[in-house]
Amino acid sequence: MDIIADVDGKLVPFEVKYRSPDHTRLADLKGMVEFCEEHGIDRGYVITRELNDFRTQAVPGSRLATILLNIPAALACYWLGRSEHETTNRGEA
């Protein structure tokens, strides 16, 4: 696991796979799958290099029907930065 965000008390895991899409298959994400199962998380994010790599992967046999979503690194950076900015501004109000 590369990043674990705490969003309003909920763990949100991110795995960075800044490689070709061939390296973002479930076989390459065993740690992410294990973390999600251990912590009761039904959704994780895989940060990828390709700008058009938006897809979901269902984890077969998952007791939680876990879904992993691939998102491009540029979007992930924006999303995490925006989330941090909004959280910080909420605390100042």
Q: Residue 46: which pLDDT band, with cuts at 50, 70 and 90?
A: very high
Q: What is the mean pLDDT of residues 39-47?
A: 93
Question: Looking at residue 13, what is its pLDDT?
Answer: 95
Q: Is 31 left (phi over 0), alpha (psi -120 to 50) or beta?
A: alpha
Whole-angstrom Cα distance, residue 58 to residue 73?
A: 21
**Predicted structure pTM score:** 0.80
Rounded CA separation 66/78 (Å): 24
What's the rounded mean pLDDT across residues 66-86?
A: 87
